[in-house]
Amino acid sequence: MNTPQQNDRFNLQPETLHDLQESLYDWQKYNFGEQDNERVLMGMCEEAGELCHAHLKLEQGIRGTPEELEAEMRDAVGDIMIYMLNYMSGLGHKLALFVPREDVEKATDQTLVRKSVLTVYRLVGKIVEEPENVSRIQHLVVSVLYLTALKGWDLETIIRETWSAIGQRNWRDYPETGFPSQEVAQQATPVDAASAPPAG
């Protein structure tokens, strides 16, 4: 694993998702120390709730434009996967290789998307109930892949974009925002995931 001396040394464009998982775990340890797995699960639960919230508001047509709420859903998916990768690292497991669901067409029926969102939410709860059941985690990945296919999104791209944004934050030195005060206005600019190498 990486042994960075400062937070800007993390690999924001890893060659493979396994490399990303290692850099992410090192980032977590640098910023927060060794994390209790239950704390990581709490983060996953929070993001699953945000996914439901954004989809509900999208269906209701309130609290944001469709574009803003779609972005919130996409962010929640990325954060769920980041927490899940850290959780797997804590258990000593690597992410199983996955391929996009090209057999699934982008949904026009929001009811189908809603059911998929609720499935993701339920599966996060199942992981809480059986915290070391790796098959539950694999089932979650399959369900997130299905949801992203319904939305017309590429899951690996979302994971890479999310990592490239959070990997720039240094919570150890800047606990309020993750950035030095002069950089707060700029915020993190995600590395272009399209230019990142594909997973091997």
User: Which among 167, 151, 181, 189 is positioned nearest to 72, based on CA atoms?
Assistant: 151
Per DSSP, the three-state class of 10 is coil
CB 24 within 8 A of CB 86: yes
Mean pLDDT by 10 residues, the chain (200 residues): 50 93 95 91 97 98 97 98 96 92 93 98 96 94 97 97 95 92 58 48
- Would you state the pLDDT for residue 53? 98
pLDDT value at position 34? 87
Q: What is the pLDDT of residue 183?
A: 55
pLDDT at residue 7 in the model: 46
Amino acid at 105: E
Which H or E run includes 20? helix 17-32
pTM: 0.86
| Dihedral angle over CA of 179, 21, 195, 9, nearest 10 | 40
Confirm if 113 and 55 have CB atoms less than 8 A apart.
yes
